[in-house]
Structure 1
Amino acid sequence: MLDVTALLLVMGASAGFILCDQLLTLKYKIPREDGQRLYLRSVTYGAPCLIAAILLKVLLFAIPSMIGVEPLIVVTPDLVPIYTALSAPLLAYLFTLVFNYALSEEKRIDIFRQAMLKDDFDAVLWKSMDTYQPILISLENRKVYVGLVADGLEPGSQGNSYLTILPLLSGFRTTEKMNIEISAVYNPVIDLLEEADNNSDSLARAESLAAYYMAFPRSKIISLHLFNDHLYANVTKQNSPAAQRPKNYKKPA
Protein backbone atom coordinates (compact mmCIF):
# COMPACT_ATOMS: atom_id res chain seq x y z
CA MET A 1 0.00 0.00 0.00
CA LEU A 2 2.86 2.35 0.82
CA ASP A 3 4.39 1.77 -2.61
CA VAL A 4 1.10 2.64 -4.31
CA THR A 5 0.77 5.80 -2.23
CA ALA A 6 4.29 6.87 -3.14
CA LEU A 7 3.58 6.20 -6.80
CA LEU A 8 0.42 8.29 -6.66
CA LEU A 9 2.31 11.18 -5.05
CA VAL A 10 5.11 11.04 -7.61
CA MET A 11 2.73 10.86 -10.56
CA GLY A 12 0.66 13.67 -9.09
CA ALA A 13 3.74 15.87 -8.77
CA SER A 14 4.75 14.91 -12.31
CA ALA A 15 1.33 15.97 -13.56
CA GLY A 16 1.71 19.29 -11.75
CA PHE A 17 5.12 19.85 -13.32
CA ILE A 18 3.67 19.22 -16.79
CA LEU A 19 1.08 21.92 -16.11
CA CYS A 20 3.69 24.36 -14.79
CA ASP A 21 6.06 23.68 -17.65
CA GLN A 22 3.61 23.65 -20.57
CA LEU A 23 0.46 25.56 -19.61
CA LEU A 24 0.90 29.07 -21.02
CA THR A 25 -0.59 30.76 -17.97
CA LEU A 26 1.96 29.04 -15.72
CA LYS A 27 5.09 28.17 -17.74
CA TYR A 28 6.74 31.60 -17.50
CA LYS A 29 6.75 31.36 -13.69
CA ILE A 30 8.99 28.28 -13.75
CA PRO A 31 12.38 30.03 -14.35
CA ARG A 32 11.82 32.28 -11.33
CA GLU A 33 11.13 29.40 -8.92
CA ASP A 34 13.81 27.65 -6.91
CA GLY A 35 13.84 23.89 -6.43
CA GLN A 36 11.76 23.73 -3.25
CA ARG A 37 9.10 26.19 -4.39
CA LEU A 38 8.90 24.50 -7.77
CA TYR A 39 8.25 21.15 -6.05
CA LEU A 40 5.51 22.66 -3.89
CA ARG A 41 3.95 24.32 -6.91
CA SER A 42 4.03 21.03 -8.83
CA VAL A 43 2.35 19.21 -5.96
CA THR A 44 -0.31 21.93 -5.66
CA TYR A 45 -1.24 21.89 -9.33
CA GLY A 46 -0.87 18.13 -9.53
CA ALA A 47 -3.50 17.47 -6.86
CA PRO A 48 -6.48 18.25 -9.17
CA CYS A 49 -4.95 15.98 -11.81
CA LEU A 50 -4.65 13.17 -9.28
CA ILE A 51 -8.27 13.70 -8.20
CA ALA A 52 -9.35 13.62 -11.84
CA ALA A 53 -7.39 10.36 -12.30
CA ILE A 54 -9.18 8.80 -9.31
CA LEU A 55 -12.56 9.90 -10.69
CA LEU A 56 -11.59 8.39 -14.04
CA LYS A 57 -10.77 5.13 -12.25
CA VAL A 58 -14.20 5.14 -10.64
CA LEU A 59 -15.82 5.80 -14.01
CA LEU A 60 -13.91 3.07 -15.81
CA PHE A 61 -13.75 0.35 -13.14
CA ALA A 62 -15.92 0.92 -10.07
CA ILE A 63 -19.20 1.97 -11.67
CA PRO A 64 -19.23 -0.81 -14.32
CA SER A 65 -18.60 -3.46 -11.66
CA MET A 66 -21.35 -2.00 -9.45
CA ILE A 67 -23.97 -2.17 -12.18
CA GLY A 68 -22.74 -5.46 -13.56
CA VAL A 69 -21.37 -4.12 -16.82
CA GLU A 70 -18.11 -5.19 -18.42
CA PRO A 71 -15.46 -2.41 -17.88
CA LEU A 72 -14.12 -0.61 -20.92
CA ILE A 73 -10.61 -1.66 -19.88
CA VAL A 74 -10.11 -5.10 -18.38
CA VAL A 75 -7.15 -5.31 -15.98
CA THR A 76 -6.34 -7.24 -12.85
CA PRO A 77 -7.31 -5.47 -9.60
CA ASP A 78 -3.70 -5.04 -8.47
CA LEU A 79 -2.92 -3.03 -11.63
CA VAL A 80 -5.80 -0.57 -11.18
CA PRO A 81 -3.86 1.73 -8.78
CA ILE A 82 -0.91 1.76 -11.20
CA TYR A 83 -3.16 2.73 -14.11
CA THR A 84 -4.69 5.43 -11.91
CA ALA A 85 -1.31 6.89 -11.03
CA LEU A 86 -0.05 6.85 -14.60
CA SER A 87 -3.22 8.51 -15.91
CA ALA A 88 -2.59 11.69 -13.85
CA PRO A 89 0.32 12.96 -16.03
CA LEU A 90 -1.60 11.90 -19.15
CA LEU A 91 -4.62 13.94 -18.09
CA ALA A 92 -2.37 16.92 -17.35
CA TYR A 93 -0.81 16.67 -20.80
CA LEU A 94 -4.16 16.40 -22.57
CA PHE A 95 -5.59 19.31 -20.58
CA THR A 96 -2.54 21.42 -21.49
CA LEU A 97 -2.97 20.70 -25.19
CA VAL A 98 -6.65 21.62 -25.18
CA PHE A 99 -6.22 24.73 -23.01
CA ASN A 100 -3.31 26.15 -25.01
CA TYR A 101 -5.09 25.46 -28.28
CA ALA A 102 -8.20 27.28 -27.07
CA LEU A 103 -6.30 30.48 -26.23
CA SER A 104 -6.62 33.26 -28.76
CA GLU A 105 -3.55 34.84 -30.33
CA GLU A 106 -4.27 38.09 -28.47
CA LYS A 107 -4.38 36.24 -25.15
CA ARG A 108 -1.12 34.44 -25.90
CA ILE A 109 0.61 37.76 -26.64
CA ASP A 110 -0.84 39.34 -23.50
CA ILE A 111 0.38 36.45 -21.31
CA PHE A 112 3.86 36.76 -22.83
CA ARG A 113 3.86 40.55 -22.39
CA GLN A 114 2.80 40.37 -18.75
CA ALA A 115 5.55 37.85 -18.03
CA MET A 116 8.19 39.96 -19.78
CA LEU A 117 7.25 43.12 -17.88
CA LYS A 118 7.94 41.46 -14.52
CA ASP A 119 11.71 41.66 -15.11
CA ASP A 120 13.65 44.82 -16.05
CA PHE A 121 15.89 42.95 -18.48
CA ASP A 122 12.94 41.26 -20.18
CA ALA A 123 10.94 44.50 -20.23
CA VAL A 124 13.58 46.19 -22.39
CA LEU A 125 13.55 43.23 -24.77
CA TRP A 126 9.77 43.38 -25.01
CA LYS A 127 9.84 47.10 -25.74
CA SER A 128 12.39 46.48 -28.48
CA MET A 129 10.35 43.70 -30.07
CA ASP A 130 7.05 45.54 -29.71
CA THR A 131 8.29 48.81 -31.26
CA TYR A 132 10.87 47.29 -33.61
CA GLN A 133 13.58 49.46 -32.05
CA PRO A 134 17.20 48.32 -31.84
CA ILE A 135 18.86 47.72 -28.49
CA LEU A 136 22.39 48.49 -27.37
CA ILE A 137 24.13 45.65 -25.51
CA SER A 138 27.19 46.30 -23.35
CA LEU A 139 29.31 43.24 -22.59
CA GLU A 140 31.71 42.76 -19.71
CA ASN A 141 34.70 42.98 -22.12
CA ARG A 142 33.58 46.56 -23.04
CA LYS A 143 32.34 45.51 -26.48
CA VAL A 144 29.00 47.00 -27.51
CA TYR A 145 26.52 45.86 -30.15
CA VAL A 146 23.45 47.58 -31.56
CA GLY A 147 20.84 45.42 -33.23
CA LEU A 148 17.32 44.09 -33.44
CA VAL A 149 16.14 41.28 -31.18
CA ALA A 150 16.05 38.14 -33.35
CA ASP A 151 15.39 35.47 -30.76
CA GLY A 152 14.67 36.71 -27.27
CA LEU A 153 14.93 34.80 -24.06
CA GLU A 154 11.86 33.30 -22.48
CA PRO A 155 10.63 35.53 -19.65
CA GLY A 156 12.75 35.10 -16.55
CA SER A 157 15.37 32.92 -18.22
CA GLN A 158 18.58 32.70 -16.22
CA GLY A 159 21.85 30.85 -16.16
CA ASN A 160 23.20 29.85 -19.56
CA SER A 161 20.43 31.55 -21.56
CA TYR A 162 21.39 33.39 -24.72
CA LEU A 163 20.06 36.52 -26.38
CA THR A 164 20.22 36.56 -30.20
CA ILE A 165 20.26 39.82 -32.16
CA LEU A 166 20.56 40.95 -35.75
CA PRO A 167 23.51 43.37 -35.49
CA LEU A 168 23.45 46.80 -37.10
CA LEU A 169 26.43 48.46 -35.39
CA SER A 170 29.25 47.42 -33.09
CA GLY A 171 31.99 49.12 -31.17
CA PHE A 172 33.42 49.43 -27.68
CA ARG A 173 33.43 51.57 -24.56
CA THR A 174 36.49 53.72 -23.98
CA THR A 175 38.74 52.79 -21.08
CA GLU A 176 38.67 56.14 -19.29
CA LYS A 177 35.12 57.52 -19.58
CA MET A 178 33.37 54.39 -20.88
CA ASN A 179 31.96 56.41 -23.77
CA ILE A 180 30.63 54.43 -26.73
CA GLU A 181 32.75 54.37 -29.87
CA ILE A 182 31.09 52.82 -32.94
CA SER A 183 33.70 51.07 -35.06
CA ALA A 184 31.67 48.92 -37.47
CA VAL A 185 28.47 49.30 -39.47
CA TYR A 186 26.79 46.17 -40.82
CA ASN A 187 25.80 47.60 -44.17
CA PRO A 188 24.69 44.24 -45.71
CA VAL A 189 22.19 43.81 -42.88
CA ILE A 190 20.89 47.35 -43.24
CA ASP A 191 20.53 46.88 -47.00
CA LEU A 192 18.56 43.66 -46.52
CA LEU A 193 16.26 45.33 -44.01
CA GLU A 194 15.65 48.23 -46.37
CA GLU A 195 14.55 45.70 -49.02
CA ALA A 196 11.88 44.30 -46.70
CA ASP A 197 9.04 46.09 -48.51
CA ASN A 198 9.96 45.19 -52.05
CA ASN A 199 9.00 42.10 -54.04
CA SER A 200 12.09 40.06 -53.25
CA ASP A 201 11.80 36.55 -51.84
CA SER A 202 11.07 36.98 -48.12
CA LEU A 203 12.31 33.46 -47.30
CA ALA A 204 15.63 34.03 -49.06
CA ARG A 205 15.98 37.38 -47.30
CA ALA A 206 15.29 35.81 -43.91
CA GLU A 207 17.93 33.15 -44.56
CA SER A 208 20.41 35.84 -45.58
CA LEU A 209 19.72 37.82 -42.40
CA ALA A 210 20.09 34.68 -40.26
CA ALA A 211 23.70 34.43 -41.40
CA TYR A 212 24.45 37.60 -39.40
CA TYR A 213 22.77 36.55 -36.14
CA MET A 214 24.84 36.98 -32.99
CA ALA A 215 24.09 35.25 -29.68
CA PHE A 216 25.28 36.54 -26.32
CA PRO A 217 25.18 34.77 -22.94
CA ARG A 218 22.94 36.69 -20.60
CA SER A 219 25.56 36.30 -17.87
CA LYS A 220 28.05 38.31 -19.99
CA ILE A 221 25.69 41.24 -20.60
CA ILE A 222 26.40 44.17 -18.28
CA SER A 223 23.57 46.41 -19.49
CA LEU A 224 21.18 46.91 -22.37
CA HIS A 225 18.82 49.69 -23.40
CA LEU A 226 16.90 50.91 -26.41
CA PHE A 227 19.16 52.60 -28.93
CA ASN A 228 18.32 55.98 -30.37
CA ASP A 229 20.83 57.25 -32.90
CA HIS A 230 19.83 60.89 -32.36
CA LEU A 231 20.31 60.59 -28.60
CA TYR A 232 23.58 58.75 -29.14
CA ALA A 233 24.82 61.53 -31.43
CA ASN A 234 23.90 64.21 -28.89
CA VAL A 235 25.50 62.38 -25.97
CA THR A 236 28.63 61.65 -28.00
CA LYS A 237 28.87 65.28 -29.02
CA GLN A 238 28.47 66.50 -25.43
CA ASN A 239 31.19 64.14 -24.21
CA SER A 240 33.65 64.93 -26.99
CA PRO A 241 36.86 66.80 -26.05
CA ALA A 242 35.61 69.90 -27.85
CA ALA A 243 32.40 69.96 -25.82
CA GLN A 244 34.36 69.78 -22.56
CA ARG A 245 36.47 72.89 -23.29
CA PRO A 246 35.70 76.17 -21.46
CA LYS A 247 33.67 78.69 -23.40
CA ASN A 248 36.62 81.10 -23.53
CA TYR A 249 38.93 78.40 -24.88
CA LYS A 250 41.22 79.56 -27.66
CA LYS A 251 43.01 77.19 -29.94
CA PRO A 252 46.79 77.60 -29.60
CA ALA A 253 48.49 79.36 -32.49
Structure 2
Amino acid sequence: MFLFLVLPILGAGFYILFNNPYAFLKLHRYRGQLLYLRSIAHGLKILALTVILCVTANYYGPEQLLGYSINLEAYLTEVFSALNVGPAELVQQMVWFCLLSVTMMLTAFLWCKFIAWRLTRISRAYKLPATLFLKQEIVKDSPLDKLLFDALTSGDPVLLSLSSRKVYVGLVAGMGEPTEDEGMDQEVHIVPLMSGYRDTNTLNVHFEIDYRLLNQTSRNKLSIIVRQELIESASPFDFDVYREIRSHLKVKPTAKVRVSYQPDPERYTWTIGTER
Protein backbone atom coordinates (compact mmCIF):
# COMPACT_ATOMS: atom_id res chain seq x y z
CA MET A 1 0.00 0.00 0.00
CA PHE A 2 2.74 2.44 0.91
CA LEU A 3 4.27 1.95 -2.54
CA PHE A 4 1.45 4.19 -3.75
CA LEU A 5 3.10 7.02 -1.80
CA VAL A 6 5.26 7.49 -4.90
CA LEU A 7 2.32 9.29 -6.50
CA PRO A 8 1.83 11.94 -3.79
CA ILE A 9 5.61 12.28 -3.48
CA LEU A 10 5.87 13.11 -7.20
CA GLY A 11 2.78 15.31 -7.00
CA ALA A 12 4.12 17.32 -4.08
CA GLY A 13 7.53 17.54 -5.74
CA PHE A 14 6.08 18.86 -9.00
CA TYR A 15 3.95 21.34 -7.06
CA ILE A 16 7.07 22.65 -5.32
CA LEU A 17 8.97 22.95 -8.62
CA PHE A 18 6.21 24.97 -10.29
CA ASN A 19 5.06 27.10 -7.36
CA ASN A 20 8.22 27.72 -5.37
CA PRO A 21 9.68 30.87 -7.01
CA TYR A 22 13.27 29.81 -6.38
CA ALA A 23 12.71 26.33 -7.82
CA PHE A 24 10.69 27.51 -10.83
CA LEU A 25 13.39 29.92 -12.06
CA LYS A 26 15.81 26.97 -12.23
CA LEU A 27 13.30 24.52 -13.68
CA HIS A 28 14.65 24.94 -17.23
CA ARG A 29 17.93 23.34 -16.15
CA TYR A 30 16.33 19.94 -15.55
CA ARG A 31 15.46 17.51 -18.31
CA GLY A 32 14.17 13.95 -18.46
CA GLN A 33 15.14 11.77 -15.53
CA LEU A 34 16.83 14.66 -13.75
CA LEU A 35 13.47 16.43 -13.56
CA TYR A 36 11.88 13.37 -11.93
CA LEU A 37 14.77 13.05 -9.50
CA ARG A 38 14.41 16.70 -8.51
CA SER A 39 10.67 16.16 -8.02
CA ILE A 40 11.30 13.10 -5.88
CA ALA A 41 13.91 15.00 -3.83
CA HIS A 42 11.44 17.80 -3.06
CA GLY A 43 8.67 15.26 -2.45
CA LEU A 44 10.77 13.29 0.04
CA LYS A 45 11.49 16.47 1.98
CA ILE A 46 7.77 17.18 2.14
CA LEU A 47 7.11 13.55 3.13
CA ALA A 48 9.57 13.75 6.03
CA LEU A 49 7.99 16.97 7.26
CA THR A 50 4.51 15.47 6.82
CA VAL A 51 5.34 12.34 8.83
CA ILE A 52 6.61 14.49 11.69
CA LEU A 53 3.49 16.64 11.62
CA CYS A 54 1.09 13.68 11.42
CA VAL A 55 2.76 11.68 14.19
CA THR A 56 3.00 14.74 16.41
CA ALA A 57 -0.64 15.68 15.84
CA ASN A 58 -1.82 12.08 16.33
CA TYR A 59 -0.04 11.45 19.63
CA TYR A 60 0.23 14.88 21.15
CA GLY A 61 -2.61 16.84 19.56
CA PRO A 62 -5.96 17.44 21.31
CA GLU A 63 -8.85 15.09 20.65
CA GLN A 64 -11.37 17.90 20.31
CA LEU A 65 -11.37 21.52 19.18
CA LEU A 66 -14.29 23.82 19.99
CA GLY A 67 -16.34 20.80 20.96
CA TYR A 68 -15.69 18.92 17.70
CA SER A 69 -13.54 15.83 17.31
CA ILE A 70 -10.42 16.39 15.22
CA ASN A 71 -9.04 12.86 15.44
CA LEU A 72 -8.91 12.16 11.69
CA GLU A 73 -7.29 8.77 12.15
CA ALA A 74 -10.22 7.49 14.22
CA TYR A 75 -12.74 9.03 11.82
CA LEU A 76 -11.14 7.49 8.71
CA THR A 77 -10.75 4.15 10.44
CA GLU A 78 -14.44 4.14 11.19
CA VAL A 79 -15.29 5.07 7.58
CA PHE A 80 -13.10 2.38 5.97
CA SER A 81 -14.29 -0.23 8.46
CA ALA A 82 -17.90 0.55 7.57
CA LEU A 83 -17.05 0.09 3.88
CA ASN A 84 -15.60 -3.39 4.57
CA VAL A 85 -12.50 -2.71 2.46
CA GLY A 86 -10.54 -5.50 4.15
CA PRO A 87 -8.91 -6.61 7.39
CA ALA A 88 -7.95 -4.20 10.13
CA GLU A 89 -4.31 -4.09 9.01
CA LEU A 90 -5.29 -3.00 5.48
CA VAL A 91 -7.70 -0.41 6.90
CA GLN A 92 -4.93 1.06 9.03
CA GLN A 93 -2.61 1.28 6.02
CA MET A 94 -5.29 3.00 3.93
CA VAL A 95 -5.99 5.48 6.71
CA TRP A 96 -2.35 6.51 6.98
CA PHE A 97 -1.98 6.59 3.20
CA CYS A 98 -4.85 9.05 2.94
CA LEU A 99 -3.60 11.12 5.88
CA LEU A 100 -0.07 11.34 4.47
CA SER A 101 -1.21 12.08 0.89
CA VAL A 102 -3.57 14.91 1.83
CA THR A 103 -1.20 16.36 4.40
CA MET A 104 1.71 16.27 1.91
CA MET A 105 -0.18 18.36 -0.65
CA LEU A 106 -1.34 20.76 2.07
CA THR A 107 2.21 21.03 3.41
CA ALA A 108 3.58 21.72 -0.09
CA PHE A 109 0.94 24.42 -0.58
CA LEU A 110 1.72 26.10 2.75
CA TRP A 111 5.47 25.81 2.13
CA CYS A 112 5.19 27.66 -1.21
CA LYS A 113 3.05 30.34 0.44
CA PHE A 114 5.68 30.75 3.15
CA ILE A 115 8.48 31.06 0.57
CA ALA A 116 6.49 33.69 -1.35
CA TRP A 117 5.87 35.64 1.87
CA ARG A 118 9.53 35.42 2.87
CA LEU A 119 10.60 36.54 -0.61
CA THR A 120 8.36 39.59 -0.35
CA ARG A 121 9.93 40.52 2.99
CA ILE A 122 13.46 40.12 1.66
CA SER A 123 12.77 42.06 -1.55
CA ARG A 124 11.38 44.93 0.51
CA ALA A 125 14.48 44.90 2.69
CA TYR A 126 16.70 45.15 -0.42
CA LYS A 127 14.29 47.65 -2.02
CA LEU A 128 13.98 45.53 -5.15
CA PRO A 129 10.91 44.00 -6.82
CA ALA A 130 10.53 40.32 -6.02
CA THR A 131 11.15 39.28 -9.63
CA LEU A 132 14.38 41.29 -9.84
CA PHE A 133 15.56 39.88 -6.52
CA LEU A 134 15.01 36.32 -7.75
CA LYS A 135 16.80 37.02 -11.03
CA GLN A 136 19.68 38.50 -9.08
CA GLU A 137 20.09 35.13 -7.40
CA ILE A 138 20.11 32.99 -10.56
CA VAL A 139 22.26 35.22 -12.83
CA LYS A 140 25.26 34.51 -10.63
CA ASP A 141 25.81 31.30 -12.63
CA SER A 142 26.40 33.19 -15.91
CA PRO A 143 28.87 36.12 -16.23
CA LEU A 144 27.02 37.42 -19.31
CA ASP A 145 23.63 37.29 -17.60
CA LYS A 146 25.09 39.00 -14.53
CA LEU A 147 26.65 41.76 -16.64
CA LEU A 148 23.39 42.41 -18.48
CA PHE A 149 21.35 42.24 -15.28
CA ASP A 150 23.66 44.68 -13.48
CA ALA A 151 23.36 47.04 -16.46
CA LEU A 152 19.57 46.68 -16.34
CA THR A 153 19.35 47.59 -12.65
CA SER A 154 22.03 50.31 -12.67
CA GLY A 155 21.19 51.96 -16.01
CA ASP A 156 24.83 51.91 -17.17
CA PRO A 157 25.54 51.40 -20.90
CA VAL A 158 27.09 48.21 -22.26
CA LEU A 159 28.94 47.37 -25.46
CA LEU A 160 27.69 44.31 -27.35
CA SER A 161 29.66 42.71 -30.17
CA LEU A 162 27.60 40.37 -32.32
CA SER A 163 28.70 37.45 -34.46
CA SER A 164 27.85 39.53 -37.56
CA ARG A 165 30.57 42.05 -36.46
CA LYS A 166 27.82 44.55 -35.68
CA VAL A 167 28.49 46.56 -32.51
CA TYR A 168 25.96 48.29 -30.28
CA VAL A 169 26.40 50.56 -27.31
CA GLY A 170 23.15 50.94 -25.43
CA LEU A 171 21.10 50.71 -22.28
CA VAL A 172 19.63 47.35 -21.27
CA ALA A 173 15.86 47.77 -21.06
CA GLY A 174 14.87 44.14 -20.46
CA MET A 175 15.87 40.49 -20.46
CA GLY A 176 14.08 37.23 -21.19
CA GLU A 177 11.75 35.81 -18.55
CA PRO A 178 12.62 32.28 -17.37
CA THR A 179 10.11 29.61 -18.40
CA GLU A 180 9.83 25.84 -17.96
CA ASP A 181 12.06 25.29 -20.99
CA GLU A 182 14.36 28.33 -21.20
CA GLY A 183 16.23 30.56 -18.81
CA MET A 184 16.94 34.28 -18.95
CA ASP A 185 19.54 33.81 -21.71
CA GLN A 186 17.04 34.22 -24.56
CA GLU A 187 16.86 37.82 -25.75
CA VAL A 188 18.06 41.15 -24.48
CA HIS A 189 16.20 44.39 -25.15
CA ILE A 190 18.47 47.42 -25.56
CA VAL A 191 17.98 51.11 -26.31
CA PRO A 192 20.91 51.95 -28.61
CA LEU A 193 23.14 54.94 -28.02
CA MET A 194 25.69 54.23 -30.77
CA SER A 195 26.17 51.53 -33.40
CA GLY A 196 28.94 50.49 -35.72
CA TYR A 197 31.00 47.50 -36.76
CA ARG A 198 34.30 45.75 -36.13
CA ASP A 199 36.96 45.92 -38.80
CA THR A 200 37.53 42.57 -40.47
CA ASN A 201 41.33 42.70 -40.17
CA THR A 202 42.04 44.67 -37.01
CA LEU A 203 38.73 44.03 -35.16
CA ASN A 204 38.81 47.66 -34.09
CA VAL A 205 35.39 49.18 -33.46
CA HIS A 206 34.20 51.88 -35.88
CA PHE A 207 31.07 53.72 -34.80
CA GLU A 208 28.89 55.02 -37.63
CA ILE A 209 25.70 56.26 -35.97
CA ASP A 210 25.35 58.28 -32.76
CA TYR A 211 21.72 58.03 -31.68
CA ARG A 212 22.31 60.57 -28.93
CA LEU A 213 22.17 63.30 -31.56
CA LEU A 214 18.49 62.59 -32.17
CA ASN A 215 15.78 64.50 -30.33
CA GLN A 216 14.16 62.90 -27.30
CA THR A 217 10.99 61.94 -29.19
CA SER A 218 12.93 59.98 -31.78
CA ARG A 219 15.17 58.40 -29.18
CA ASN A 220 12.14 57.08 -27.27
CA LYS A 221 11.16 55.11 -30.36
CA LEU A 222 14.49 53.29 -30.57
CA SER A 223 14.37 49.66 -29.55
CA ILE A 224 16.48 46.64 -30.52
CA ILE A 225 15.97 43.00 -29.54
CA VAL A 226 19.11 40.85 -29.73
CA ARG A 227 19.31 37.10 -29.29
CA GLN A 228 21.89 36.40 -26.61
CA GLU A 229 23.28 33.50 -28.61
CA LEU A 230 24.45 36.07 -31.20
CA ILE A 231 26.50 38.02 -28.64
CA GLU A 232 30.20 37.15 -28.96
CA SER A 233 31.43 39.59 -26.32
CA ALA A 234 29.99 42.14 -23.93
CA SER A 235 31.51 44.69 -21.61
CA PRO A 236 30.55 47.79 -19.64
CA PHE A 237 30.99 51.00 -21.62
CA ASP A 238 32.18 54.35 -20.30
CA PHE A 239 32.13 57.34 -22.65
CA ASP A 240 34.94 59.15 -20.78
CA VAL A 241 37.22 56.13 -21.04
CA TYR A 242 36.28 55.71 -24.71
CA ARG A 243 37.21 59.33 -25.54
CA GLU A 244 40.49 59.02 -23.64
CA ILE A 245 41.43 55.84 -25.53
CA ARG A 246 40.50 57.42 -28.85
CA SER A 247 42.72 60.43 -28.14
CA HIS A 248 45.76 58.18 -27.66
CA LEU A 249 45.23 56.07 -30.76
CA LYS A 250 47.78 56.61 -33.49
CA VAL A 251 46.42 56.56 -37.00
CA LYS A 252 48.66 54.59 -39.30
CA PRO A 253 49.39 56.24 -42.66
CA THR A 254 47.67 54.61 -45.58
CA ALA A 255 49.96 53.15 -48.24
CA LYS A 256 49.19 54.15 -51.82
CA VAL A 257 49.59 51.65 -54.63
CA ARG A 258 51.46 52.82 -57.71
CA VAL A 259 51.10 50.89 -60.98
CA SER A 260 53.28 51.75 -63.99
CA TYR A 261 52.69 50.37 -67.47
CA GLN A 262 55.57 49.93 -69.88
CA PRO A 263 54.45 48.88 -73.37
CA ASP A 264 56.78 46.79 -75.46
CA PRO A 265 56.23 45.45 -78.93
CA GLU A 266 56.83 41.87 -77.83
CA ARG A 267 55.55 41.85 -74.25
CA TYR A 268 53.69 43.94 -71.78
CA THR A 269 55.09 44.64 -68.30
CA TRP A 270 53.61 46.22 -65.22
CA THR A 271 55.51 47.51 -62.21
CA ILE A 272 53.60 47.58 -58.92
CA GLY A 273 54.97 49.50 -55.97
CA THR A 274 53.84 51.43 -52.91
CA GLU A 275 54.32 55.00 -51.91
CA ARG A 276 53.51 56.84 -48.69
Output the TM-score relative to the length of structure 2.
0.61
- 1:148-159 paired onto structure 2 within 5 Å: 148-153=171-176, 158=183
AA matched with 2:234: L
- Following the alignment from structure 2 to structure 1, what is the Cα–Cα distance between the partners of residues 156 and 112? 34
Residue 177 of structure 2 is aligned to residue 180 of structure 1: no
* Structure 1 residue aligned with 2:224: 214
Q: State the match for 1:249 in structure 2.
A: none
Aligned runs of 1:11-90 on 2, under 5 Å? 11-50=8-47, 55=54, 61-65=72-76, 85=101, 88=104
TM-score (norm 1): 0.65
Q: Deviations over 1:23-75 (max 9, x none)?
A: 2343444344454443322211112334566749x878424345x6x89xxx9
Q: After superposition, where does 1:1-253 map in structure 2 within 5 Å? A: 5=4, 8-50=5-47, 55=54, 61-65=72-76, 85=101, 88=104, 91-103=107-119, 104=121, 105=123, 106=125, 108=130, 111-153=134-176, 158=183, 161-187=186-212, 191=216, 209=220, 211-239=221-249, 241-242=251-252
**In the superposition, relative to structure 1, how do residues 64 and 226 fare at CA in structure 2: closer, same or farther (>3 Å)?**
same
Opposite residue 166 of structure 1, the aligned amino acid is V
Alpha-carbon distance, 1:191 to partner: 2.4
Q: Which runs of 5+ in 2 are unaligned?
A: 59-69, 86-90, 255-274
The structure with the larger Rg is 2
Is contact 2:10–2:39 with CA below 8 Å preserved after alignment? yes
Q: CA separation of 1:50/1:148 partners in 2, compared to 1, >3 Å: closer, same or farther? A: same
3-state SS, counterpart of residue 235 of structure 2: strand
What is the deviation of 1:137?
Answer: 1.2
Q: Between Structure 1 and Structure 2, which shows a larger proportion of strand residues? A: 2
**Cα RMSD between the aligned structures?**
4.4
Q: Which runs of 5+ in 1 are unaligned?
A: 194-207, 245-251
Ranked by relative contact order (alpha carbons within 8 Å, sequence separation 6 or more), the top structure is 1
- Assess if the C-alpha contact under 8 Å between 1:167 and 1:189 holds in 2: no
